[in-house]
């Protein structure tokens, strides 16, 4: 038996639209787990296969990770069960720890494949095949199976085998080169934004294949090349460049169609309010709010073109007004007057946002080793078959026995043999 006390009971009543769909999940870190987290949110049963040798990097190592990932900054005895990175992206999943290089482990996956709908991995191209778990092998077991691979780059080109991480993929897909302060140095997004882009498109691909299977009766092998999917999000810039348009030159927060359009300092340290003015009505409203109606017809600012040309002067005027004021209060006031504005929020602001709590975006979950905390939700809202964040992320190997005995119907003896051989693990290798 697993040494984990109180193995949690997987939910029995799931109301999401994907209730009845079963997913075998080999993904790790952020992009792949966000895909399967989305499917779990929508009601699918997601069985996460974890390696005890190369643990999901978002669990950290057996010895811990950066302190700011842990409850009260304390890694604890089993830090891999308390890591906020992992626990954010893996709620509502089951964890089975298999060493796929040990005899018998692949047979567990083959048995799961018989009743599963989807197998998903974010290994490099070809790894799933080398493990004997590729589409050809699994579809021979279950012709309705769908396999989804999420490499950084698509197969068949010179970059196929490039090692990609969120930040480097963002550079490769063209986004980073479009961001900066105007001094020529590119500025990447402050989080690995490519990962959730890949995560969303992974879920979209799975659902498309599930719909397609209703038509064809058979599964298929899908490739979600993360850099290619992300390129669509700046597709207009790529198309414009291909058609001879002038290339976009990054210059802080300035954009083609609005001025002022920037973040302005507020009361406190590193506190800012974002203000965006797209038309003359908004400009007049802004001037009224800051008590500078005389600026409306000032030749430097009277037209959108003039405002665009004189943004440095605008920054001084608006910054002088926002400085010393509360960022949320300024944003509220401007929005009431019809001027797009928002506080530039940090993690504390978002966690403390009553509005997000009221609309049900934040969920409170009890994790047996991490404690009771709030977690962010997802944006899929269905009235009749709602998805939800229901259960905390699994501890490492928490559902070994449940999946092997109850889902697969293995005998107790067979399960113990798998444990004895090292195919099934209850704790990560040190």
Partner 1 sequence: MREAFSGISVVDATGSIAGNYCAKLLRLHGADVTMVEPVGGSPVRQWGPPGGRADDASPLFRHLNAGKRSVSVDVANDVSRRAARRIAEAADVVLHDERAEAWLDPAPLAERAVVCRITDFPAVSRWEGWSGSEMIHQALSGVMYVTGSPDHQPLYGVGHRAYFAAGVSAYITVTSALLERRSSGRGQRARTTVLESSAAMAQNFVTQYAYNRTYSTRRRYPGMLSILKCRDAWVILFALRHFDGLCETFDVPELLTDPRFVDPVVRGANWHLASDILAAAAARFDADELVDRGQRRKVSIEKVHSMADLLRSEQLRARGMVVQDDGRTSLGPVFRSVVAS
Interacting positions 238-257 with partner 1 (CB under 8 A): 238-248, 250, 252-253, 255-257
Q: Which of 360, 385, 394, 384 is closest to 43 using CA atoms? A: 385
Q: Which is nearer to partner 1, 338 or 422 (CB)?
A: 338
- The window from 6-14, 158-166, 292-300, 401-409 that contacts partner 1 (CB under 8 A) reads 158-166
Total Cβ atoms within 10 A of residue 302: 14
Site membership for partner 1, residue 278 (CB under 8 A): yes
Total Cβ atoms within 10 A of residue 164: 24
| Whether the Cβ atoms of residue 401 and residue 2 lie closer than 8 Å to each other | yes
- The window from 93-101, 159-167, 292-300, 405-413 that contacts partner 1 (CB under 8 A) reads 159-167
Site for partner 1 in 161-220 (CB under 8 A): 161-181, 185-193, 196-197, 200-201, 203-205, 207-212, 214-216, 218, 220
Question: Exposure pattern of 211-242 as b/e (b: 16+ CB <10 Å)?
Answer: eebeeeeebbbbebbbbebbbeeeeebeeeee
Site for partner 1 in 69-108 (CB under 8 A): 69-73, 84-85, 87-89
Cα–Cα distance for residue pair 84/60, rounded to 1 Å:
10
Per the DSSP assignment, residues forming a β-bridge with 371 are 367
Site for partner 1 in 369-428 (CB under 8 A): 370, 373-385, 387
Instruction: Kindly tell me which residue out of 111, 234, 302, 408 binds partner 1, with binding defined by CB under 8 A.
Output: 234
Q: Which is nearer to partner 1, 254 or 414 (CB)?
A: 254
Site membership for partner 1, residue 236 (CB under 8 A): yes
With CB under 8 A as the rule, give the number of residues binding partner 1: 158
Site for partner 1 in 326-355 (CB under 8 A): 335-336, 338-351, 354-355
Residue by residue, DSSP assigns 292-315 as: -GGGTT-TTTSSHHHHHHTHHHHH
Q: Which is nearer to partner 1, 103 or 371 (CB)?
A: 371
Taking every pair of Cα atoms in the chain, the longest distance, rounded to a whole number of angstroms, is 85
Could you give the string, one character per residue 19-48, with x where binding to partner 1 holds by CB under 8 A and - elsewhere?
A: -----------x-------x---x------
Supply the minimum distance, in Å, between the C-beta of residue 292 and partner 1.
Answer: 21
Cα–Cα distance for residue pair 330/318, rounded to 1 Å:
11
Distances (CA, A) of 159 to 134, 162, 163, 199, 299: 21, 5, 9, 21, 52
Cα–Cα distance for residue pair 200/233, rounded to 1 Å:
12
Q: Which is nearer to partner 1, 10 or 177 (CB)?
A: 177
Supply the minimum distance, in Å, between the C-beta of residue 23 and partner 1.
Answer: 13
Q: Which is nearer to partner 1, 294 or 347 (CB)?
A: 347
Q: Which is nearer to partner 1, 9 or 243 (CB)?
A: 243
Cis peptide before 73 (omega within 30 of 0): no
Q: Which is nearer to partner 1, 47 or 275 (CB)?
A: 275
DSSP for residue 258: B
């Amino acid at each position: 038996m697993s040494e984990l006390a109180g193995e949690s009971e997987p939910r029995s009543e799931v109301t999401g639209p994907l209730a009845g769909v079963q997913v075998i999940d080999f993904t790790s870190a952020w992009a792949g787990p966000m895909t399967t987290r989305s499917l779990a949110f929508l009601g699918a049963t997601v069985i996460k296969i974890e390696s005890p040798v190369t643990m999901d990097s978002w669990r950290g190592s057996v010895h811990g990770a950066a302190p700011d990932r842990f409850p009260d900054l304390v890694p604890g005895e089993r830090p891999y069960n308390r890591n906020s990175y992992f626990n954010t992206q893996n709620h509502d999943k089951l964890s089975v720890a298999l060493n796929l290089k040990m005899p018998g482990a692949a047979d567990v996956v083959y048995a799961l494949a018989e009743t599963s709908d989807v197998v998903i991995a974010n290994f490099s191209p070809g790894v799933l095949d080398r493990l004997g778990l590729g589409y050809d092998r699994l579809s021979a077991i279950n012709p309705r199976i769908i396999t989804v691979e999420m490499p950084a780059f698509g197969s068949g080109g010179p970059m196929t085998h490039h090692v990609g991480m969120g930040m480097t993929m963002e550079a490769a897909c063209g986004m980073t080169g479009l961001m900066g302060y105007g001094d020529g140095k590119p500025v990447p997004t402050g989080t690995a934004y490519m990962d959730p882009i890949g995560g969303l498109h992974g879920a979209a691909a799975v659902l498309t294949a599930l719909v397609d299977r209703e038509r064809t009766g058979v599964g298929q092998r899908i490739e979600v090349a993360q850099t290619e999917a992300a390129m669509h999000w700046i597709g207009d810039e790529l198309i414009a460049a291909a058609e001879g348009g002038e290339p976009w030159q990054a210059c802080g927060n300035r954009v083609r169609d609005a001025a002022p359009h920037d973040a302005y300092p507020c009361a406190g340290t590193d506190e800012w309010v974002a203000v965006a003015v797209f038309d003359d009505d908004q400009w007049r409203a802004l001037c009224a709010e800051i008590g500078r109606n005389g600026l409306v017809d000032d030749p430097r600012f009277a037209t959108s073109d003039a405002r665009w040309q004189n943004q440095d002067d605008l920054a001084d005027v608006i910054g002088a007004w926002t400085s010393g004021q509360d960022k949320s209060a300024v944003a509220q006031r401007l929005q009431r007057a019809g001027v797009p504005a928002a506080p530039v929020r940090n993690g504390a602001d978002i966690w403390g946002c009553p509005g997000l709590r009221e609309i049900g975006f934040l969920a409170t979950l009890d994790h047996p080793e991490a404690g009771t905390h709030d977690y962010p939700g997802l944006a899929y809202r269905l009235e009749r078959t709602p998805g939800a964040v229901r259960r905390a992320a699994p501890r490492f190997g928490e559902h070994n026995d449940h999946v092997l005995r109850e889902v697969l119907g293995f005998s107790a003896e067979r399960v113990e043999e798998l444990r004895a051989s090292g195919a099934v693990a209850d704790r990560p290798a040190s």
